[in-house]
Chains A and B, each alone.
Chain A
């Protein structure tokens, strides 16, 4: 609005007549979309036009696919343009001499502006790159950080928190691995120290819902083992890995496809089993059902020994290995893209090491360091209730905003004539 705190009525009236007021408001509405994003949309529209022309003369599958990808953006842009021209028209009407017409235009103005805003959001949403694993189920891995029993206790609490959250949200979750640590001192509320736990959320799209949870979760509280009442700070690392959908015909082709991120060449995997003793088969009846797989090129090691069934352990170990490798490959690609990008936004790129959230028992508080959201009612958070949902949602919107900012930064870098445009373009178009 205007900077002046007070305005005489006649002046206000004349201002309104001259259209200054209106143009101020208008500018505010149209700034909903950053210019770079709009530029990018225009560029894509031009590309689309060219592609359709090209496709008219001869069909080419890659071009058709690309055209299909960006057609959404073009449609959103067209609508936005239409709304804008409508606004311009209204604007012109406001300046006309007919009082009745002005009144009508004024009535329409609000609705049109709202519409414009939603269209702007729409466009930015279509421009935002969708995470390639967004539609997949996910694995949530919990690893207590260094710091002894306290971290292990809290890992158990976090594990139960996610389990209950899934229950509350109606996701189907199952426990893949739950390793109790060797020392068995009970913690607060019957916590069991764990050395590792893996929860699988099998709903498609779970990865998108939980990917904001990856990172270091910090806890500040007085541990059950503490005698002198001092507050300790420990951490639990949470990894969120995309998991391969189990019974999907599409997936079957996919992870046997060497192009896929989930493809693992079995010749690069070493399986270490208890082969040391005897001939096996009928000679022994060992209960050892552990499976350890090592992916030699990356050095990733997985081990599964939860189930009595070796077959089940083997399946789970392979799934976990695939997920970890896929996630590593994705991270490497992201790191490459990041190097290409402006370094201004580098700290927003999430990695496993960053502290992302703090659970403070004394202050009954849970803070997310990325979205900056501060909530109380910690018990509800740890029960996976609506407060946790609020936190997770705030992270979701933060992630979306971050994605858009990254995109814009990328566009700017591109505009500045940075090298290697093709790779980035592909990312942005998704």
Chain B
């Protein structure tokens, strides 16, 4: 990190006031300082208090100046069209997560719209979504918000799971917070049998302990017509996860200071020593995918290397390969022409607005000794951000 010129402090003081000198060591540039100062002032102006305006701005700038992330200082972070509350002890939602969640909700919305014409009964069949390691609950909340507004008659069953009770409390608070701000319609209450049934729940569970996770992974039958015993409907349409994925050495070296000092290590670094340490969650997630066969899986990863490792884990496992890769038709022709062929893809940052970008990437030698190729989506300058799996037979209309 380069040194900040004293001159910059002078300029900041002159142009932006005394608060700027506090923010400058953290923000590094005048432009970013001006932005953060404006956001802090906006926040103070929007939240009434008996403490004078100037004093509150000064206090917040002081805390921000000590390196506390802005989302913790202000207590919230925008995520899509929602406002997510943030508190120390729970990971702050990242813009990268926001980007792929929006893309994911677009995929789901389109596939709902195209299947809608088939039958009205389809809407009674709930769309089942589970998010593991949910943190603030940002992914389930945004998906709920987008889907309930674009398809107001569609039944939904969305679950968020996290090991931390702080996170679960916060995600429930976030649900109520956004509900009060009328950002999305109210979920159905448990006894309510009216249509559409929209459920959104957060549960505390350790995803490594089968006994604690299993109750949430088996889908409860919502209506008498689609009980899980008949074999229809008891499937997850989407499994998402943003698990801890930073290796202990990476945590010491490549994370920024404010992440290292203020954000929960629990949400960043996997605690177990097995495999390559940072990949241990993916092994477990894929194990869950193998058992419960969700139609689509999305896992956030740290970089392209990790994405490739995860893809290799999928392709190396015979059952997963059969489920999601099939005979590799999804990569041929470079687009989605092979409908229902299944897909193993890597998504880069900056997907929204750049859906058209696509490239074919080799991920190494497979079991049959041939080079394996998969599709990489998103702007070529973006980092590898997530691995997307789609089961054979499931169609995305993109």
Residues of B near A285 (CB, < 8 A) are 69, 71, 92, 94, 256, 258-259, 263
Contact indicator B15/A308 (Cβ below 8 Å): no
Residues of A near B268 (CB, < 8 A) are 282
Judge if B48 is at the interface, Cβ distance under 8 Å: no
Within 8 A of A (CB), among B353-398: 353-357, 379, 381-383, 385
A263 to chain B, nearest CB (A): 12
Residues of B near A277 (CB, < 8 A) are 256
Contact indicator A267/B96 (Cβ below 8 Å): no
Judge if B300 is at the interface, Cβ distance under 8 Å: yes
Judge if A273 is at the interface, Cβ distance under 8 Å: yes
Within 8 A of B (CB), among A273-331: 273, 275, 277-290, 305, 307-312, 314, 318
Contact indicator A308/B39 (Cβ below 8 Å): yes
B79 to chain A, nearest CB (A): 8
Interface 0/1 of B321-358, CB less than 8 Å to A: 00000000000000000000000000001101111110
Residues of B near A311 (CB, < 8 A) are 78-81, 95, 98-99, 102, 352
Residues of B near A182 (CB, < 8 A) are 15, 30, 34
Q: A267-B356, A311-B78 are in contact. Are A284 and B255 (CB under 8 A)?
A: yes
A225 to chain B, nearest CB (A): 15
Contact indicator B69/A281 (Cβ below 8 Å): no
Interface 0/1 of A394-411, CB less than 8 Å to B: 000000000000000000
Contact indicator A282/B244 (Cβ below 8 Å): yes
Report the count of interface residues on B (CB-CB < 8 A). Answer: 59
Report the count of interface residues on A (CB-CB < 8 A). Answer: 34
Contact indicator B98/A278 (Cβ below 8 Å): no
Residues of A near B15 (CB, < 8 A) are 182-184
Interchain CA distance A318-B102 in the complex, whole Å: 16
Q: A271-B350, A273-B350, A288-B32 are in contact. Are A283 and B244 (CB under 8 A)?
A: no
Judge if B248 is at the interface, Cβ distance under 8 Å: no
| Residue among A265, A275, A284, A289 making CB contact with B259, cutoff 8 Å | A284
Of chain A, the residue at the smallest CB distance from B303 is: A279
A281 to chain B, nearest CB (A): 5
Within 8 A of B (CB), among A5-22: none
Interchain CA distance A2-B85 in the complex, whole Å: 82
Residues of A near B256 (CB, < 8 A) are 277-278, 283-286
Contact indicator A266/B357 (Cβ below 8 Å): yes
Interchain CA distance A184-B14 in the complex, whole Å: 9
Judge if B158 is at the interface, Cβ distance under 8 Å: no
Judge if B70 is at the interface, Cβ distance under 8 Å: yes
Of chain B, the residue at the smallest CB distance from A178 is: B38
Residues of B near A318 (CB, < 8 A) are 353
B332 to chain A, nearest CB (A): 21
Interchain CA distance A180-B34 in the complex, whole Å: 9
Of chain A, the residue at the smallest CB distance from B72 is: A285
Within 8 A of A (CB), among B286-327: 300-303
| Residue among B80, B259, B357 making CB contact with A282, cutoff 8 Å | B259
| Residue among A184, A281, A305 making CB contact with B300, cutoff 8 Å | A281
Interchain CA distance A184-B34 in the complex, whole Å: 12
Interchain CA distance A307-B80 in the complex, whole Å: 12
Judge if B77 is at the interface, Cβ distance under 8 Å: yes
Which among A266, A275, A308 has the highest number of chain B CB atoms within 10 Å? Answer: A308
Q: A284-B256, A308-B77 are in contact. Are A314 and B353 (CB under 8 A)?
A: yes
Judge if B227 is at the interface, Cβ distance under 8 Å: no
| Residue among B32, B69, B244, B355 making CB contact with A266, cutoff 8 Å | B355
A293 to chain B, nearest CB (A): 8
Interchain CA distance A101-B346 in the complex, whole Å: 91
Judge if B152 is at the interface, Cβ distance under 8 Å: no
Interchain CA distance A138-B356 in the complex, whole Å: 28
B267 to chain A, nearest CB (A): 8
Of chain B, the residue at the smallest CB distance from A272 is: B381
Contact indicator B302/A307 (Cβ below 8 Å): no
Interchain CA distance A116-B268 in the complex, whole Å: 80
Contact indicator B352/A279 (Cβ below 8 Å): no
Residues of B near A314 (CB, < 8 A) are 352-353
Residues of A near B81 (CB, < 8 A) are 311
Of chain B, the residue at the smallest CB distance from A287 is: B70
A260 to chain B, nearest CB (A): 16
Q: A271-B354, A282-B246, A285-B69 are in contact. Are A309 and B78 (CB under 8 A)?
A: yes
| Residue among B78, B381, B382, B383 making CB contact with A312, cutoff 8 Å | B78
Contact indicator B258/A280 (Cβ below 8 Å): no
Interchain CA distance A278-B355 in the complex, whole Å: 24
Interchain CA distance A183-B14 in the complex, whole Å: 8
Q: A266-B357, A275-B381 are in contact. Are A283 and B246 (CB under 8 A)?
A: yes
Contact indicator A271/B379 (Cβ below 8 Å): yes
Residues of A near B229 (CB, < 8 A) are none
Interchain CA distance A242-B39 in the complex, whole Å: 29
Contact indicator B78/A280 (Cβ below 8 Å): no
Residues of A near B353 (CB, < 8 A) are 266, 269, 271, 314, 318
Residues of A near B78 (CB, < 8 A) are 307-309, 311-312
Of chain B, the residue at the smallest CB distance from A309 is: B78
Judge if B16 is at the interface, Cβ distance under 8 Å: yes
Interchain CA distance A310-B350 in the complex, whole Å: 11
Closest 7 CB pairs of A and B: A309-B78, A310-B95, A284-B256, A287-B70, A182-B15, A279-B303, A285-B69
Contact indicator A282/B32 (Cβ below 8 Å): no
| Residue among A266, A279, A305 making CB contact with B383, cutoff 8 Å | A279
Judge if B114 is at the interface, Cβ distance under 8 Å: no
Judge if B254 is at the interface, Cβ distance under 8 Å: yes
New A-B pairs, 5, CB < 8 Å, besides A282-B267, A283-B246:
A266-B353, A279-B302, A285-B263, A286-B256, A287-B36
A171 to chain B, nearest CB (A): 23
Contact indicator B354/A282 (Cβ below 8 Å): no
Within 8 A of A (CB), among B142-158: none
Interface 0/1 of B227-248, CB less than 8 Å to A: 0000000000000001011100
Interchain CA distance A182-B10 in the complex, whole Å: 13
Within 8 A of A (CB), among B21-73: 27, 30-32, 34-36, 38-39, 69-71
Which among A273, A287, A312, A318 has the highest number of chain B CB atoms within 10 Å? Answer: A287
24 contacts between A and B (CB under 8 A): A180-B38, A271-B350, A271-B381, A273-B349, A273-B350, A277-B256, A278-B254, A278-B255, A278-B256, A279-B254, A279-B302, A279-B303, A281-B385, A282-B255, A282-B267, A283-B302, A287-B70, A287-B71, A288-B32, A290-B35, A305-B35, A309-B78, A309-B80, A310-B95
Judge if B185 is at the interface, Cβ distance under 8 Å: no
Q: A271-B379, A287-B36, A311-B99 are in contact. Are A282 and B350 (CB under 8 A)?
A: no
Of chain A, the residue at the smallest CB distance from B80 is: A311
Which among B78, B80, B91, B245 has the highest number of chain A CB atoms within 10 Å? Answer: B78
Judge if B220 is at the interface, Cβ distance under 8 Å: no
Q: A283-B246, A284-B256, A285-B92 are in contact. Are A266 and B356 (CB under 8 A)?
A: yes
Interface 0/1 of A250-269, CB less than 8 Å to B: 00000000000000011101
Interchain CA distance A280-B355 in the complex, whole Å: 20
Contact indicator B95/A289 (Cβ below 8 Å): yes
